[in-house]
Amino acid sequence: MSRIAYVNGAYVPLSHAYVHIEDRGYQFADGIYEGIAVRRGRMVDLEPHLNRLWRSLGELSIQAPMDRGPMTAVFKEVIRQNRARDAFLYIQVTRGVAKRDHGFPADSWPALVITCRRVDFDQVAARAKAGVKAVSHPDIRWGRCDVKSVSLLPNVLAKQAARDAGAFETVLVDKDGFVTEGSSTNIWMVTKDGTLVTRSTADNILPGITRMTVSELAHGHQMVIEERAFSLEEAKDAAELFLTSSTAGAMPIIELDGNKIGDGTPGPVASRLAAAYMDFMNA
C-alpha cells in the first residue's frame, strides 16, 4: 500500500506529495518540525509534543496553521490512512510560500506537511539489549538549539560522521569540551556512584520529550538525576552512557570513539530505563 501524506489540506500518495519551490522552508529553512512515536496505534506523549510544537512556532513568530484539536484529528487520520500500528509521525510547519526575501512576508500562510513511516519498536528494544556505538564531533549548530528548527545541516553532517565510522550516533561537544547532545538525541551519563547526569535544557539544548519521560521514569525508580554539563572525557570514563529519542527510546551506548564504556555491555541503569520506557510505550 502506498504511503499517504498530508500536504496543506490534502491527503495524497507520498509519491505525489510536493511543496512549492518558493516555500520558505525549502529556501531559508524557515520552519519547524516535530516527531511523534506511534505505538500500537497510539501517539506517545502527544500533549508534550504539541506543547513543544507550539513553543517552536512562537519562538519563530510562525502562525499555527490550525488549532491543536483539528491538528490532532489530522494526525489521527494520517495514521489511519497509513494503517500504522508502530510508526513515526513527522510534522513540519513552515512560514509558507512567498516571493524570495529574507524578511518575513506580510501575506504568506503557514504550510503544513505530515508524513508517517513504520518503525519496528520491538527491534529497537532488541537493539537496546546489545547497545550501540557512538563517536564524538564538534557541535557547530546554530545558537537556538532549543527550537526544533528544520535547519539541520550540522546535524546531518554529524549523523553522517557516525555512519562513516560504523556507529549509531554522534555525541556533540561544545568549544569547551563539554557534551551537549546527540545529532538527533539527548545524551545521558551514569557516574560510578549511580547518579544520572544529563545537560540542563537551560544550556541551549533541545528539551527532548523522551528525555522528559525517561527522567520521570528514573525518579519513579528512585534514581538520582543531576542536570549539569559533563566533559567528553567524563563521558568516556563513565560507568554507563545512553541516549534518548522518540524512535530509539532509552538506548545504551557501549562504545564512544573506540573506547569501551564500562565493561562494553549495556549497564544495569540504562537497561532498566530502556525496559521501563518500553513498558511506558506499551501501556
Question: 75: part of which helix (H) or strand (E)?
Answer: helix 68-81
187: Cβ contacts below 8 Å, ≥ 6 apart: 171, 179, 180, 181, 198, 199, 235, 241, 242, 243, 253
Any catalytic annotation for residue 148? yes
Q: How far is Cα 142 from Cα 170, in angstroms, rounded to an integer?
A: 17
Q: How far is Cα 65 from Cα 169, in angstroms, rounded to an integer?
A: 33
Q: How far is Cα 92 from Cα 152, in angstroms, rounded to an integer?
A: 13
Q: How far is Cα 257 from Cα 170, in angstroms, rounded to an integer?
A: 9
Angle between helices 68-81 and 46-59 (to 10 degrees): 120
Is beta strand 240-245 parallel, antiparallel or unpaired with respect to 225-227? unpaired
From the candidates 148, 175, 192, 236, which is the catalytic residue? 148
**Distances from the Cα of 87 to the Cα of 35, 96, 115, 166, 246, angstroms:** 10, 27, 10, 25, 10
User: Which residue, 146, 136, 272, is CA-closest to 214?
Assistant: 272
Give the residue numbers marked as catalytic: 148
